Amino acid sequence: MADFDEELDASGLNCPLPILRAKKALAGMESGKVLHIIATDPGSVKDFEAFARQTGNELMESKEEGGKFQFLIRKA
């Protein structure tokens, strides 16, 4: 996984909390910085894709590893 600037562990949280926490974390970051998100909600895979498309933030990477979903989002 590529480098990131901030990390958000949303493990154990269910819809819509991972998205809401990510939005909040991104709000405190500068444009171009990368947020690494860890989640256990399987719905978060489609949700972060949709979140990125609608907010303009770039979903750089999305993968599953050992039951955890990991995302890299670059702030627009």
Partner 1 sequence: MEEKKLAIIATKGSLDWAYPPFILASTAAALGYETEIFFTFYGLQLLKKNLDLKVTPLGNPGMPMPMGMDKWFPTMLTALPGMESMMTSMMKKKMASKGVASLEELRELCQEAEVRLIACQMTVDLFDMDSSEFIDGVEYAGAARFFEFAGQSDICLYI
Looking at residues 16 to 55 of the shown chain, list those that interact with partner 1 (rule: CB under 8 A): 16-17, 19-20, 22-23, 40-41, 51, 54-55
Rg for the chain, CA atoms, rounded: 11
User: Which of these segments, 1-9, 15-23, 29-37, 64-72, binds partner 1 (CB under 8 A)?
Assistant: 15-23
CB of 32 to partner 1, least distance (A): 19
- Asked whether the bond before 42 is cis by omega within 30 degrees of 0, the reply is no
Active site residues: 15
Exposure of 45 in the CB half-sphere (CA atoms within 13 A): 9
Contact call for residue 15 and partner 1 (CB under 8 A): yes
